[in-house]
Structure 1
Amino acid sequence: MNEVALQLGDAPLDETVVRIALAGALGMFLGLEREWSQKSAGIRTFSLISLLGAVFTILVLEEPLVGGNLLILGGLLVIVQGVLLAVKGLVGEPETSLSLTTSVSMLVAYGVGALVAAEYIIEGVTVAVLSSLLLVLKRELHEFAGGLSREEMRATTEFAILAFVIYPLLPAEYPLDIGTVTIDLEPQVIWLMVVAVAGIGIVNYAIVSTYGGRGIAITGFFGGLASSTAVVGTMLDHVNQRPEASSYAVAAILLANAAMAARNLAIAVGFTVGSETGLLVEAAIPLGAVILIAFAVAGTTADWSESGPMELESPFSMKNALAFGAVFLVVLVFGSLAEDWFGTLGFYATAVASGFVSSAGATTSAVVLYRGGQLGSAEATIGILLATVSSIVVKAMLAATSANHSFRNQVAVYSTVLLLGGAAASVLLVI
């Protein structure tokens, strides 16, 4: 007996017995919420359905003709059983609800069993976990959907189109010939910035609706950790909707710059700890100066004591997001041309151009070259600083497209302050 148990314990996931057991366990997991909700189908029913799907799928692998017919028959039986449960709920007691969710969940359990038996382990587990999460969050999802306005539904649909329809259709690379120069554009990366603007805009809408002006600060900093450039697109929307709140939008961009600098510093220091080339501490002073100045200016320019609830018209604007993507494309093209023109200063030019897209990418490249000995600490630090400066400048350029004079002037002035502070810290470092 112990020998059999030991063999089962050592069996890999491609063993048939283990896959059958996993299918039954996932079925029990799916049926747990239904049992807790006191539905007519619970743990045992769901587990048996998953086992049935697993057994028939295994038969398909061994005997395709017989197994295929049984698999289809089993699926039809599950559907019929689900329909009967739904009808029972419909013609039963007045307070009994239509059991469509339970019926569909049973079919999901059958599919999970089939996936696991066919050795799609990760996929089967993912489907089971997500399905269980949807069942558990029933009340929250209903409340969320019921509370959405027409504008919020439109924004959600537009975001889904941007992220899940258009993005996968775009090519990963597209060579663009400009005279004698060929620029290898990445349409998916460019469109990803549009998606990022839309996504951050929706998150900003939710946070600002809850926390007011302080929510803008949250959006700026944490959005800056993901994509500091995309934060500008969100703030352009915000200022267009509420011109009187431009000081908060300026503070958000400053905090996005602080988050960007903090992320670059973490990469520069964290990935050189314990390396043979030594810790890249030279970047700490100028990047630290940018972080401190950004927080100081953001903390003093906006009146956070009056950051009450703010009503925004919509989560984000499709027009502004697409316009942001167009401006970003222009900046990217000019950055690539600059990289070609600089010649021997290719690395620094690359750092500047990369900063337009993601200063984190340029920082990572500099750290990798530094660890490999291709760059000294001074060259790597200069590359990181150039990428950081490039990111700050491009945000100021994008903010300059705003029709709000106060907003764009403040962003320009405070961005200059950040750059001068970082430069002064760099001079002190050299001295």
Structure 2
Amino acid sequence: MTVAASGVNAAGADSIDKWPYLDMLARFALALALGLLIGLERERRKKEAGLRTFGFIALLGSVGAALGDPYAYIILAFTALLTVFLNLQEFHLHKGTELTTSAAMLVTCVVGILCGKGHTLTPAAIMVSATALLAWKDRLQGFSIGLTENELRSALLLAILAIVIYPALPVGTIGPWGLIEPRAAWATVILIAGIGFVNYVLWKMYGARGVTIAGFLGGLVNSSVTVSELAARMGKSRSRHEIGAAYQGILLATCAMLARNTVILILLAPGAAASACVSFGLMLLASAGWALFGRKPAGPNLPDESHGDGRTSLALPFSLWAALKFGFIFLVLHIAGIVTQRFLGDVGFYLVSLIGGAVSSASAVAAAASLASNGSILPGVAATGAVIASIASVAINLPFVFRAKNRQVSISLSIAMGVIALLGIVGVPLGVAGMSLIDVYFPDLY
């Protein structure tokens, strides 16, 4: 036993006598379970390497890693030789190869090695992802075959915007007074492109049903971008059902924006949230009620289904020019907001909230809440600023709804957003009156 233990130590591993039994058992059990997981999928497809083979490979990898790195390398090399033997046998019998199964065997061995070294979440995530790739073979093949050149080019362009250009931009502000923040402006460009791409994918995968989902999720990020995208697609559609879904998605985007701003205010400044609760409550009820129970106009003389062969005519996933234009507008408004705040001070707070709400209501609401929590402004002032920012976000969407190129739809959306904004304005004095009563009867509440 002493010789064996010395040999293990020479290889760079702990003495077998010092192996913690339960810990090592857990490592081996995890490796075996992950190997059986991917082996189950291969067994179901009646591959030569199945449940037992993958279980043994993962277990061997974990034992090799526990013994030391040289043993792990030997097990990995042995697995590679096994894949060569598997492909030679398959070529001899069926004149084909098992490249996917061979790659899965190598991944399984590496995952087993990670388990043997004590990793848990990383090998589990790798194996689940690998098994999903194998199980979704048919769907992935169908998606890749149906992918057009323009769609692939748009995906690559989006990746370049996010992965290549964004990290190369300077961090923080630049220029006099720190007026320009390149990464924030470029993030807006990526955001527009990303939401447009997600809407495109959802529309293509789920039809009109995916538009409402994209509307709400997009509204949580940027309601103006979402409204603009949905209105533009509404203008290109000739399906009554799709136009109705886009109409509902626009209202849900507004509802999601208001819900997000309410949560931000509650988390950062509860006192300000109490002052703004009437305004936000009225706007939320109006937007949600209009989206869920309101009549969805589709305009006259539109068929119930898409034209042609019943498929929706889709444009490109996103427009780079539109994304760059929106990013430029964001940059101009951002600079104007900083300059106004510097020259007007606290007097310009509401004006800054108005401008900030037109650009990013979430940022404006968070800024108001932060000032209130620091004691720089009163909670009531912060609440009013948050409401102004949210109303500005609703109002800034009005020009976008006319991209629908449908008079009935544009009028209906304009009325809905006008009512939502009006309720927000009416709620401000009601909230102030309510807080005054609370201060009288419960002076120590806040």
- How high is the TM-score relative to the length of structure 2? 0.73
Residue segments in structure 2 that go unaligned for 5+ positions in a row: 1-18, 307-311, 434-446
> Deviation digits for residues 114-157 of structure 1, max 9, x if unmatched?
22334443222211111111112122222222222232222233
| Equivalent residue, structure 2, for 1:225 | 220
**2:258 is the counterpart of 1:265:** no
Letter aligned with residue 33 of structure 2: A
Identity %: 32
Moved more, 228-237 or 127-136: 228-237
Q: Alpha carbons of 1:117 and 1:238: their partners in 2 closer, same or farther (altered >3 Å)?
A: same
Give the distance between the partners of 2:344 and 2:87, measured in 1 at CA.
70
Cα distance in 2, alignment partners of residues 403 and 21 from structure 1: 58
Tell me how far apart the structure 1 counterparts of residues 116 and 358 of structure 2 sit (CA, whole Å). 47
Indicate if the aligned counterparts of 2:231 and 2:401 stay in contact, CA closer than 8 A: no
Q: Is the 8 A contact 1:194 1:322 kept in 2?
A: yes
Partner of 1:87: 88
What amino acid is aligned across from residue 106 of structure 2 in structure 1?
L
RMSD: 4.1
Question: Structure 1, unaligned stretches of length 5 or more?
Answer: 1-6, 61-66
Q: CA deviation at 1:416?
A: 4.9
Say if 1:233 and 1:321, in contact at 8 Å, map to a contact too.
no
Q: In 1, are the aligned partners of 2:32 and 2:58 still within 8 Å (CA)?
A: yes
What is residue 176 of structure 1 aligned with on the other side? Answer: 174
Deviation at 1:260, TM superposition (A): 0.6
CA distance, structure 1, for counterparts of residue 389 and residue 99 of structure 2 = 54
- 1:239 deviates by 6.2
**3-state SS of paired residue (1:283):** helix
Report the structure number with the largest CA radius of gyration: 2
Tell me how far 1:262 sits from its aligned partner.
2.3
Deviation at 1:34, TM superposition (A): 1.2
Write the distance in 1 (CA, Å) between the matches of 2:193 and 2:87.
Answer: 39
1:318 maps to 2:320 = yes
Deviations 1:136-182 (A, max 9, x none): 212222222222223222223333333444444444x232223xx22
User: Tell me, what secondary structure is at the counterpart of 1:40?
Assistant: coil
**Residue 305 of structure 2 is aligned with which of 300, 305, 308?**
308
> How far did 1:357 drift?
5.7
CA distance in 2, matches of 1:27, 1:401: 56
**C-alpha separation in 1, matches of 2:280 and 2:38:** 49
- In 2 relative to 1, CA 255–403 (structure 1 residues): closer, same or farther, beyond 3 Å? closer
- The within-5 A match list for 1:15-414 is 15-60=23-68, 67-68=69-70, 70-93=71-94, 98-171=97-170, 173-178=171-176, 181-183=177-179, 185=181, 187=183, 189-209=184-204, 215-232=210-227, 234-235=229-230, 238=233, 241=236, 252-268=249-265, 271=267, 280-294=273-287, 299-300=294-295, 302-303=297-298, 308-309=305-306, 310-344=312-346, 351-352=353-354, 355=357, 358-363=360-365, 377-396=379-398, 399=400
What is the aligned length? 403
Q: For residues 135 and 204 of structure 2, what CA distance do their matches in structure 1 show?
A: 26
Q: Distance in 2 between matches of 1:407 and 1:317?
A: 26
1:98–1:320 distance in 2 versus 1, CA, 3 Å: farther
Deviation (angstroms), 1:330 = 2.5
- Check whether the contact 1:335–1:356 (CA below 8 A) recurs between aligned residues: no
The one-letter code of the counterpart of 1:176 is: I
SS in 2 for 1:18: helix
Quote the offset at 1:400 in angstroms. Answer: 9.4
Contact 1:225 1:263 in 2 (8 A): yes
Give the superposition deviation at 1:374.
7.2
CA 1:71–1:295 in 2, change beyond 3 Å: closer, same or farther?
Answer: closer
Q: Displacement, 1:231?
A: 1.1
TM-score by length of 1: 0.76
Deviates more, 1:122-131 or 1:277-286: 277-286
SS of the aligned residue for 2:317 comes to coil
- The AA in structure 2 aligned to 1:50 is A
Contact 2:219/2:256 (8 A) holds in 1? yes
CA contact (8 A) 2:222 2:360 kept: yes
